[in-house]
Structure 1
Amino acid sequence: MKYSLSAETNKLDQLITELKGKYKLLYDAVQPIPYIRDRMFCVDKVFVEGGIEYFEKTSGTTSNDIWKPLASYRHLYDMVGYKSKRQILEGDPGYGKSTLTLQLAYDWCNNNSNSPISKVKVLIFLRLRQLGGVQSIYEAISRFILAKDSKLSENDVKTLLNNSDSVLLILDGYDEYPDQDNMDTDVSLIIKKEILRDIDVILTTRSFKLPKHRAPQTSRVRLRGFDETARDQYIRKAVVVDNNDDEIKKIKLTLKQNPFLEICAKFHCFLLCSLI
């Protein structure tokens, strides 16, 4: 079915409105201390940038392959379309992959001109742990992003994405994706670049769980964790009320004196510990 230009424009506006409505629910509900729901923040209030680097594959033997520093997450999108329009954002558990993608969603929704995705027209953000048994990417968008009473059909979504000249698809948490072994799902086909070849894709995963089948020349970016300055900034933003210096010193002393697992138990695995 063909749309008139005005009808398609209206549908695209509706899609973007619904996407932003869903993402706001997500990025406004960041819990620095998990399971304590009365301490929820907007991601922009607690986001702290850690170390980040990109993988440079040299010609010839793999012994010369190296990771090089990336100045900031603001250069992240520069790496997506560099070769194959596919990127893996990897890192160890707790290094901030999902938080970073939520920050990107916040930037997009709020038209942040300094964001690496400021020029993206349509952002699709999906958490892969939800997609078990879901074959179609358009079904996933309809089920997990659009409003329950949305008037947009799966076919509308497919048409709009295929006709848009600027789409970024973020697939968060490949290591938690239930259908990793099914090579016929849209997610697998997208990773292999067999469908939706012209859209940009960022896939997040733990470093030890990279997709076995992926498009050649897929770029790789890795989060390295957080240094002392970043940890101090996070404590001030997310943990201590009213920027109390005495409380900040107390928490930092506790972090230094206790092994990682003991800290996690004492603070109910709050995010600061997992960031270290």
Structure 2
Amino acid sequence: MSDFDSASLLMVMARFSMFHNGDPASYDIIMKVAGIRNDLSHMGLKDDMNLVDHTVKQYFQNIADFVTCLEGLHPNHFTSAQDVRDRLKEIQSEPITAKMKKDMYLELRQELQSVHQLTTELRRDVQSANQATSWLCRDVQSANQATSELRRDVQSANQATSELRHDVQSVKEATTELRHDVHQATTELRHDVHQETTELRHDMHQATTKLRHDLQSVHQSTNDLTRKVDNLQVVTSDLVSKTVIENESKTEEAPDEILMECQEQLRAYYINSLCKIPLFPGDFDSCVDLQDIYTKVSIEIKLPKPCRPVKMPLSSYDEMFTRRTREGYVYTKLLLSAPAGLGKTTLTAKIAYDWATQLEGSPLRDITLLFVINMRWIDHTSNLESIILNQILPRDTTITPDQVRSMIERYGDRVIVILDAVDESDRGLFNQVESYGNIVELLKGRVMSPCRVLVTTRPWRIAEITRMCKTFTQLELIGFNKEDVREYVRKFFHQKKNLGDSLIAHLDQNPLVDEIASKPLMALLVCIYWHLLFDAIINIMYHPSMANCRNNKNV
């Protein structure tokens, strides 16, 4: 207890008990309070125990003060419990009025009721503490159970680790055995190979010796036969030389005549048909010569380099046929790519026109034959000579497919074959099929290899074409630059110069339209739109209903 010891508590309790002549109710209260304090002490609830001690101290201190008032003495005068008992006996013999006893009894009863109420609250607190202790015990039990499960898991993990270590040890042992077996097998294999090699060398030596003997016999027989052939050559040499001279004299004139006929028919087709360009789509009355409308387009060549290809601009399309490799050879396989509307077909027509007209200074003047073939309706079974007869030469030509093939093979590198719009051809042209014509072989470079081939396509077919033949040199058509667009507009409106100048001024003021017109097809559409707009304005202005407006100078 705090602030006073058990002897002092005994002294006060003795005063209280003797004052009430051993009242059982008071004694029960004292014993219950003592029992509660012992329970709190056993549970280790020191704070609650101190509270009980403080309450009991205050209660019994009040009783002691009351007794002191009755006795006229101070508790410190009592040195022991026996002194208290003796003094209380003396007090009992003294006369005390009934009213005093009644008042003291009522006050003590109130104090006892307070103690009883405090005792009840302490019991509830003890019950709550017991319940909390029960919950704590259950939590501790759950924690112990979880700890047990954890220990079992740790034991399982240790067992699995042991098994894994055992498996690893087994694998190591198996690996060691396998290495030993491999080493032993390798040693045996080397020995067997060495033995077989030795035997094979011996057999080859014997076979070589026998073959040499046989070759000597054959050489002797060949010498005898050669002498006999020499005798026959002497007899037939004159006849053979005469026959060769006669055959050459008969065949020299015919190819020249056939070549000239083929060239004339090609030139007629290119100038009169291929190179006639309608200014307005579908209006063939608006056709003009290609030379009157053609405008130079920009071309770039892709040169292979270790990291990636390098693009270099060409001064003109002529450089495609004159540019040489570092070894000094001209490019024989060219692949020209560009999106739709950039002028691939128009460029091929320009090449054909310059060849047909033998343009001064053009490298095409040295070309003997030039064939421009539209690949749109060509499939994988087509042959080049048949396509030339069907597309280019007239129906009544006397030239045969064999003669066309003979001329291509005869003039070799002086022949150019242009395959236009390969991307629009039959899909089977690029598939692995069992049978196909020599047009596929030409793309692969397996036939007519000396002649030059120019292929035009859209970019999405480049991979398939280069997969067929890896020797293609790639070129890219860029389109018009700013000055080319204006030159094209001037050529389109060469008969209406003012209208062309107004369109050029409009392009200068609208960079977006100028950029759109960098594609030749879009430049054509812009010119057509401008022409139609001008015609519409003229028709509106000269309509009868607009007569008043024409007379009004302010309009």
TM-score range, shorter chain: 0.7 to 0.9
| Structure 1: runs of 5+ lacking an equivalent | none
As a proportion of its length, which structure holds more helix? 2
Structure 1 residue 251 displacement after superposition: 6.5
**Alignment partners' CA distance in 2, 1:201 and 1:131:** 16
* Residue from 221, 235, 253 that aligns with 2:489: 235
* Residue from 390, 397, 407 that aligns with 1:160: 407
Q: Provide, for residues 159-188 of structure 1, a one-character-per-residue CA deviation record: whole Å limited to 9, x for no partner.
A: 121112410101111111124335533222
Larger radius of gyration: 2
Find out whether 1:112 has 2:359 as its counterpart.
yes
Partner of 1:222: 476
* Residue from 420, 425, 438 that aligns with 1:172: 420
> Structure 1 length normalisation: TM-score?
0.85
- Match for 2:429: what amino acid? Q
Q: Provide, for residues 169-218 of structure 1, a one-character-per-residue CA deviation record: whole Å limited to 9, x for no partner.
A: 01111111124335533222111101111100111111222214332231
Aligned partner of residue 106 in structure 1, secondary structure: helix
Aligned partner of residue 278 in structure 2, secondary structure: coil
Residues 127-276 of structure 1: matches in 2 within 5 Å?
127-132=374-379, 135-165=382-412, 166-178=414-426, 179-182=428-431, 184-210=436-462, 211-238=465-492, 240-250=493-503, 253=506, 256=510, 271-273=524-526
CA contact (8 A) 1:23 1:105 kept: yes
**Alignment partners' CA distance in 2, 1:228 and 1:270:** 11
Structure 1 residue 132 displacement after superposition: 3.5
**Alignment partners' CA distance in 2, 1:146 and 1:115:** 24
Structure 1 residue 270 displacement after superposition: 7.1
Q: 1:230 to 1:47 in 2, by over 3 A?
A: same
> Structure 2 length normalisation: TM-score?
0.44
CA contact (8 A) 2:303 2:311 kept: yes
Aligned partner of residue 203 in structure 1, secondary structure: strand
Root mean square deviation, CA, Å: 2.9
CA contact (8 A) 2:371 2:418 kept: yes
Q: Provide, for residues 56-107 of structure 1, a one-character-per-residue CA deviation record: whole Å limited to 9, x for no partner.
A: 111x3xx432211112222121248846610011112111111111111111
**Alignment partners' CA distance in 1, 2:312 and 2:512:** 32
As a proportion of its length, which structure holds more strand? 1
**Alignment partners' CA distance in 2, 1:84 and 1:55:** 12
- Match for 2:355: what amino acid? W
Aligned partner of residue 38 in structure 1, secondary structure: strand
**Alignment partners' CA distance in 2, 1:141 and 1:207:** 26
**Alignment partners' CA distance in 2, 1:69 and 1:12:** 36
**Alignment partners' CA distance in 2, 1:180 and 1:259:** 39
Q: 1:133 to 1:12 in 2, by over 3 A?
A: same
Aligned partner of residue 195 in structure 1, secondary structure: coil
* Residue from 261, 273, 279 that aligns with 1:26: 273
**Alignment partners' CA distance in 2, 1:161 and 1:79:** 22
Q: 1:257 to 1:226 in 2, by over 3 A?
A: closer
**Alignment partners' CA distance in 2, 1:80 and 1:199:** 15
User: How many residues are matched?
Assistant: 265
Partner of 1:68: 312
- Match for 1:150: what amino acid? T
Q: Provide, for residues 226-255 of structure 1, a one-character-per-residue CA deviation record: whole Å limited to 9, x for no partner.
A: 1121111111112x1424234432366279
> For structure 1, which segment, 124-133 or 143-152, has the greater mean C-alpha deviation from structure 2 after superposition?
124-133
**Alignment partners' CA distance in 2, 1:204 and 1:40:** 24
Residues 14-93 of structure 1: matches in 2 within 5 Å?
14-58=261-305, 60=306, 63-79=307-323, 82=329, 85-93=332-340
CA contact (8 A) 1:52 1:73 kept: yes
Q: 1:139 to 1:80 in 2, by over 3 A?
A: farther
CA contact (8 A) 1:171 1:201 kept: yes
CA contact (8 A) 1:28 1:40 kept: no
**Alignment partners' CA distance in 1, 2:468 and 2:420:** 16
CA contact (8 A) 1:167 1:199 kept: yes
**Alignment partners' CA distance in 2, 1:156 and 1:227:** 44
**Alignment partners' CA distance in 1, 2:499 and 2:389:** 48
Structure having greater relative contact order (Cα 8 Å, sep ≥ 6)? 1
CA contact (8 A) 2:321 2:331 kept: no
CA contact (8 A) 1:34 1:270 kept: no
**Alignment partners' CA distance in 2, 1:228 and 1:106:** 25
> For structure 1, which segment, 177-186 or 150-159, has the greater mean C-alpha deviation from structure 2 after superposition?
177-186
Aligned partner of residue 419 in structure 2, secondary structure: strand
Aligned partner of residue 72 in structure 1, secondary structure: coil
Task: Calculate percent identity across the aligned residue pairs.
Answer: 20
Partner of 2:49: none
